[in-house]
Amino acid sequence: MKRVLFALVFLLPCGAFADDRSHQFIDLQGEARTDSWWSSFAECVGRAKSLVPFASVIGHATPEVIEERANMFWIISVSRLTRDRDVSQDEAIRIAGGQAQLAYQWQQDSNLVYTAASKMDWEFDRQITLCESHLRDYAAAFPEDFQQ
């Protein structure tokens, strides 16, 4: 109960602002969802960081690849947040970091369940696939972010 209350209190100041660029996607439960780009990528950072230890065991990716992806998600999240809300990089790091930490904890809890059920490979794949989907959609929506 305390964790839920903390999450609700914490998320109030992190809610989407009118200027946050958002996207629509199908979440892991098959539901249509709209979320800000920065928030989606901050969640991907937390989830990916939580999944790093499983990469070698599962063999679907190396820990280095998952770390690189998490770093890319982080850069996109902070960059998008600074532009959407016109906040400093330090403020964007604080906001996105809170969202990433929350997602990390949620994923840690899920990891326990999926490991106990011998389904960690399935959980790993679906989380990484969703984040990769966000990345493809983001690259299509903002190709200028990927040009040198």
| pLDDT tens digits along 32-70 | 999 999 999 999 999 999 999 999 888 889 999 999 999
- Domain annotation covers residue 28: no
- Domain annotation covers residue 104: yes
- Domain annotation covers residue 106: yes
Q: Where do we find the tokens 């989407």?
A: 16
- Domain annotation covers residue 29: no
CB atoms within 10 A of CB 63: 14
Mean residue pLDDT of the chain comes to 90
Rounded CA separation 34/87 (Å):
22
Nearest CA to 20 among 99, 84, 86?
84
Kindly tell me the sign of the dihedral angle through the C-alpha atoms of 125, 48, 31, 83: negative
pLDDT at res. 11? 41
- Domain annotation covers residue 64: yes
Range of the domain at 133: 34-146
Segment 101-125, tens digit of pLDDT: 999 999 999 999 999 999 999 999 9
Rounded CA separation 7/103 (Å):
10
The number of folded domains in the chain is 1
- Domain annotation covers residue 75: yes
